[in-house]
Structure 1
Amino acid sequence: MFNLLVMAGGWNGRRDNVPLGRIYITSEQEQEFQDGTRPNFERLKRLPALFAEETYRDGAGQFARIGEITNVRVQGHNAIIEYRYDPDVPPIPHADLLALAPALGIDLPRRGFGPFEHSHWAIKDADLFRALMTEWRRPSRQPSVFQLDSPQSVNPDLLSAMMPFAGFDAVWGAIQRAATANGMRSDRADNRWDHPAIIQDVVALIDQAAIVVCDCTGKNPNVFYEMGIAHTLGKEVVIITQSAADIPFDIAHLRHIRYHDNEQGTQQLEAELSARLRTLRDQG
């Protein structure tokens, strides 16, 4: 069961008023959800809620949200409800909501006013989340240049390095030692040949890694492309560079580790990177 709440003009996302006379409880529902002459709000709060906007014209640009009612108090002839949306469920376009109506136990009459054409609060005898999972297929943006494993498999002990290859052996060594000191395994795309296309090996390595180290030295375009993928996939990205001038404006606000291209510099890089990895591991 779930609460269906429809509001003219939409919901403000936090607190709204619902007229007590617009709270509909059927005779079959009274024993469970009626408390004397008023709704039993404590029991109603236990149900998930679907917040929909009263249909405006063809519903274009309108969305419903899934959430929960956190508090209700009666003031005069109104129920003042406080609520929050579920951040894991995206907004549902009005057209999709109408298509979902049968699975949600919502009758859409051929003539006259339907449930989305007047403001009210009703209780529907359907499993809201099961209907969303089985009947609603939200669009998913899939890349065409490479593929992502589904389901995703992340190795919490894997660090991947995105960096120039030629002339960076000492830097790669420092990264490997920092990873080992934190109980992690490190890898680079040039060590892999799992797919015909190298971009697929690169993306798979980023996708599987818990932490991605990106060396921006020399403004290598491959590194920036790979860093963008890592950020999009929600990875913990550690940026390193030999020169602050190699950090472009778009990511200049992100902290980075700067090191010198000599033995002392790579030793310092190893120490600072190891400290950062330790912090990320402790947080995880």
Structure 2
Amino acid sequence: MLFNLIVRANETQPMLPSRMFEGTPEQLTSAYRTGTGFDFNALAQLPTVMTREFESDDMGAVATLGYMDTPSINPVISKPILRFPSQALLNLGLLDENCWQNKRTHWRLCEGDPFRLFSKSLDNSPLAIEPKRSSACDPNLIAVMMPFTDDPSIDPVYSALVEGSKRAGKNCKRVDEILTPTDITEDIFKLIASSSSVIADITGLNSNVMFEAGYAIGMGKRTVLLHQDDVPKLPFDVSHRRVFTYKRNKDGLAILSDRIFKILTNAQ
């Protein structure tokens, strides 16, 4: 798994093209270059850690982890999944203070799962999480992340997931079934945090669903990935995970329902 690590003197300014992939092995960057520059569409599919330049004793510097709002040389993360002290980047060896990497504007590609890295390695550090994780996990709740092409009451794919989960003694819920006047992003985070497992339909590699699946994986949730028909080339950070395919017809949805039943039953 790869993720972007972006350090800038001012987080509102574009990255310097000459500093792109600075300190990154060529074998990691080859898939993210084009004939004229850089493939920001592909880079935007990766989790991203951003921080301003900071001194090693600067306890006020804060890094953010999430996904870029749009592909750009001037990336913005308006809704970060995690915030944590930038000092952690030094503690974990992601930035080398001896090479001034914490005080130098540059964009690197790093290997590893940042969601697990920061949510687990920083458990004893002053880590602020947005939103706060719910301590209550419902063992029978299955959070479903999928593109909202149909109302949940008539969506045939969702109905198949509900039926299979019900047979396993579980209850599915989509965020658009939460009828409260709260922020939808906060509802998504809370739904994932309070669930025992997550089912993510990544058909079409919908950016919102990919974001939500990454968050669930980072929280250590059992995450089942689905895709309609053949699976295309996946972003690097999920390419190693098993994806269950299905057909969107009567027989295919019946098979999907049975598969979900078996997966959830085996997880108990």
The TM-score, its normalising length taken from structure 2, stands at 0.50
- Percentage identity across paired residues of the two chains: 28
Partner of 1:157 in structure 2?
140
Partner of 1:203 in structure 2?
189
Q: Report the CA distance shift for 1:213/1:262 in structure 2 as closer, same or farther (over 3 A).
A: same
Determine which of 199, 223, 244 is the counterpart of 1:257.
244
Displacement of 1:267: 1.1
Determine which of 208, 213, 223 is the counterpart of 2:209.
223
Q: Report the CA distance shift for 1:255/1:192 in structure 2 as closer, same or farther (over 3 A).
A: same
Partner of 1:191 in structure 2?
177
Displacement of 1:272: 1.3
Rounded Cα–Cα distance in structure 2 between residues aligned with 1:138 and 1:184: 33
Q: Which amino acid aligns with 1:148?
A: R
Higher relative contact order (CA 8 A, sep 6+): 2
Rounded Cα–Cα distance in structure 2 between residues aligned with 1:176 and 1:237: 16
Aligned residue pairs, count: 144
Q: Report the CA distance shift for 1:247/1:267 in structure 2 as closer, same or farther (over 3 A).
A: farther
Determine which of 154, 157, 160 is the counterpart of 1:174.
160
1:121-155 per-residue CA deviation (whole Å, 9 max, x = no partner) reads xxxxxxxxxxxxxxxx94232234x3323xx1100
SS of match in other structure, 1:156 = coil
Displacement of 1:262: 1.4
SS of match in other structure, 2:128 = coil
1:170-209 per-residue CA deviation (whole Å, 9 max, x = no partner) reads 1100100011000011101001134521101111100000
Runs of 4+ in 1 over 6 A off after TM superposition: none
Q: Which amino acid aligns with 2:219?
A: L
Rounded Cα–Cα distance in structure 2 between residues aligned with 1:195 and 1:225: 22
Rounded Cα–Cα distance in structure 2 between residues aligned with 1:239 and 1:147: 25
Gaps of 5+ in 2: 1-56, 58-122
Displacement of 1:162: 0.3
Higher gyration radius (CA): 1
Gaps of 5+ in 1: 1-59, 61-136
Displacement of 1:163: 0.3
Q: Identify the structure with the greater strand proportion.
A: 1
CA contact (8 A) 1:218 1:246 kept: no
Partner of 2:226 in structure 1?
240
Q: Which amino acid aligns with 1:254?
A: R
The TM-score, its normalising length taken from structure 1, stands at 0.47
* Structural RMSD (CA): 2.2
Q: Which amino acid aligns with 1:274?
A: F
CA contact (8 A) 1:216 1:247 kept: no
Displacement of 1:255: 1.1
Question: Which runs of structure 2 are paired with 1:79-158 in the superposition (5 Å)?
Answer: 138-144=124-130, 146-149=131-134, 152-158=135-141
Displacement of 1:229: 1.0
